[in-house]
Amino acid sequence: MSKTVEGYLLIADITGYTWYLSESELEHAQDTLTELLELLVGQTRPPLVISRLAGDAVISYGLHENFFQGQTFVEIIEETYLAFRKAIELMVMNNTCRCNACANVSKLDLKFFLHYGQFGIQHIADHDELVGSEVNLLHRLLKNDVTEKTGFGAYVLYTESVIGQLNVADFVETMTPHTESYEHLGRVKVWIQDLWPVWERRRQETVIEIPENEIDAKVSVDIQMPPERVWDYMLQPEFRNALIGSTRMTIANRSQGRVAPGSVYQCYHGDKLVPQTILAWEPFKRIVIKQPFPMAQSNTMLGEYRMEAMNGGTRLTASSTKPSGPLSGRLVYTLMRRVIPRMSGRALDNFRQLIEGDYQQRSSVVSSSGDVDQSSIREAAAAGLQASTNPTDV
């Protein structure tokens, strides 16, 4: 008996695998697919739940009640793709084998298919089987002419329903509209995000670091939720207020509808505005900002929020430099230097209490067998191998 829910459906599908197998030695090809499936499984984190592995694809879902903000979900997909490309690049760099399987691995890529709607969950043996017309639609979309029409080899396909849920209208304007037609379904409107520019931008980014010897204050707090969740809360002004002790906040200078380097958190402390300009934005890892010293705004200082996964939770560390600029402001900072870590520590703890409380209130209990072990991954890789080499198999 299935349970009907509403939420997100996601398929991550390795591209070019059939061709890869036709040109490669099967034993090494299976090892490659196993490694890449392990990576995709590792990148699929709560509130996403793995339904099952299907050959060279990972099928997952997330319930509406306790899901991410739209930008966070987009960044999770992008970060998964970046991790995939890095893995491919490392395989190529570290290759000492002369077989075709190892030589051809650079031709593999990744596509994502994302939909929103109602579906049923049937607990079968060791996995959750997703059923319903919305699930069928997403699987139909795997067969498309996106690459032929757009030239995109790696992409995210967003259906119209998921675009409405994610609330990323400005970001959608950067995508390519596309239509597929299917028997019994008619015309299906979708939007396509080309992922290759995401990889190229990341490779060319200059990493901004604050030298350790310039950090003057550093405090940490341990939060009982994964980094993706902490990041999602940090994105939202109503929770970020607690993090920095502001009374209200707006966001200016979004880039294509997203918070990014160059965006500004307009933080109000009563009537006083303290703008925080984002210098570095590394999803689920860290944010670097530049801001005026609140007590002497002619002086500026750098700050960093860094996240580290710790035993199922997250250690959030806030660091800041001494302010630079006029002597008067630096003297004010010197007088306040002893109390600043205590103030920062209280703000971090307030943030922790607020988001842990909200998370507990919103959390949905999902009875699921979503954990995937090593043997299941190898079995999926073997099944994908058999299906790709024997087209008569369904």
Euclidean distance between CA atoms 180 and 275, whole angstroms: 45
* Contact indicator for 307, 222 with CB cutoff of 8 Å: no
> CB-based contacts of 171: which residues, under 8 Å, 6+ apart?
70, 71, 74, 256, 257, 258
Q: What is the CATH classification number for the domain harbouring 198?
A: 3.30.70.1230
* Contact indicator for 319, 217 with CB cutoff of 8 Å: yes
Who has greater pLDDT, 100 or 129? 129
pLDDT for residue 323 is more than 90: yes
> CB-based contacts of 148: which residues, under 8 Å, 6+ apart?
none
255 lies in the same domain as 117 = no
54 lies in the same domain as 129 = yes
pLDDT at 54: 87
**Alpha helix (H) residue ranges in the chain:** 17-22, 26-43, 70-93, 100-103, 133-141, 146-150, 160-166, 169-172, 196-204, 227-234, 237-244, 327-336, 340-362, 374-389
176 is a domain residue = yes
86 is a domain residue = yes
111 lies in the same domain as 255 = no
> CB-based contacts of 207: which residues, under 8 Å, 6+ apart?
280
pLDDT at 298: 95
- Which pairs count as long-range contacts for 202-207, CB under 8 Å and 24+ apart, including other chains? 202/82, 207/280
3-state secondary structure of 320: strand
Helix (H) or strand (E) holding 5: strand 3-15
394 is a domain residue = no
84 lies in the same domain as 114 = yes
pLDDT at 30: 75
Task: Quick: pLDDT tens for 256-285.
Answer: 889 999 999 999 999 899 999 999 999 999
287 lies in the same domain as 244 = yes
Q: Which of 79-88, 108-117, 166-175, 313-322 has the lowest mean pLDDT?
A: 166-175
Who has greater pLDDT, 122 or 194? 194
8 lies in the same domain as 112 = yes
What's the mean pLDDT in 42-55? 89
How far is CA 195 from each of CA 79, 175, 192, 200, 322, rounded to the nearest angstrom? 10, 10, 9, 9, 39
116 lies in the same domain as 230 = no
344: Cα within 13 Å, side-chain hemisphere? 21
Q: Would you call the peptide bond into 292 cis, given omega within 30 degrees of 0 as the criterion?
A: no
Residue 293 pairs in a beta bridge with: 296
385 lies in the same domain as 308 = no
355 lies in the same domain as 380 = no
Taking the alpha carbons of 145, 146, 151, 155 in that order, is the dihedral positive or negative? negative
pLDDT for residue 161 is more than 90: yes
Residue 264 pairs in a beta bridge with: 252, 277
**pLDDT tier at 28, thresholds 50, 70, 90:** low
Q: In this structure, what token pair is assigned to residue 188? A: 């299906």
DSSP-assigned letters across all residues of 99-128 = SHHHHTGGG-EEEEEEEEEEEEEEEETTEE
Euclidean distance between CA atoms 13 and 10, whole angstroms: 10
What's the mean pLDDT in 346-369? 80
Q: How many CB atoms lie within 10 A of CB 201?
A: 11
139 is a domain residue = yes
What's the mean pLDDT in 312-333? 95
Q: Which of 102-106, 172-176, 205-209 has the lowest mean pLDDT?
A: 102-106
**pLDDT tier at 394, thresholds 50, 70, 90:** very low
pLDDT at 364: 55
pLDDT at 111: 97
**Structural domains in the chain (count):** 2
358 lies in the same domain as 374 = no
215 lies in the same domain as 110 = no
Euclidean distance between CA atoms 379 and 187, whole angstroms: 36
Task: Quick: pLDDT tens for 201-239.
Answer: 988 888 889 999 999 999 999 999 999 999 999 999 999
261 lies in the same domain as 196 = no
pLDDT at 98: 62
Question: Strands 186-194, 176-182: parallel, antiparallel or unpaired by DSSP?
Answer: antiparallel
The percent of residues above 90 in pLDDT, for the chain, comes to 65
Euclidean distance between CA atoms 387 and 394, whole angstroms: 7
The angle that helices 227-234 and 237-244 make with each other, rounded to 10 degrees, is 90
Q: Which of 16-25, 35-44, 54-63, 242-251 has the lowest mean pLDDT?
A: 16-25
**Structural domain that includes position 145:** 3-202+368-389
What's the mean pLDDT in 12-17? 86
3-state secondary structure of 353: helix
pLDDT for residue 365 is more than 50: no
pLDDT at 314: 97
Mean pLDDT, the chain, rounded, equals 88
Q: What is the CATH classification number for the domain harbouring 350?
A: 3.30.530.20
**pLDDT tier at 135, thresholds 50, 70, 90:** very high
Euclidean distance between CA atoms 104 and 102, whole angstroms: 6
pLDDT at 100: 61
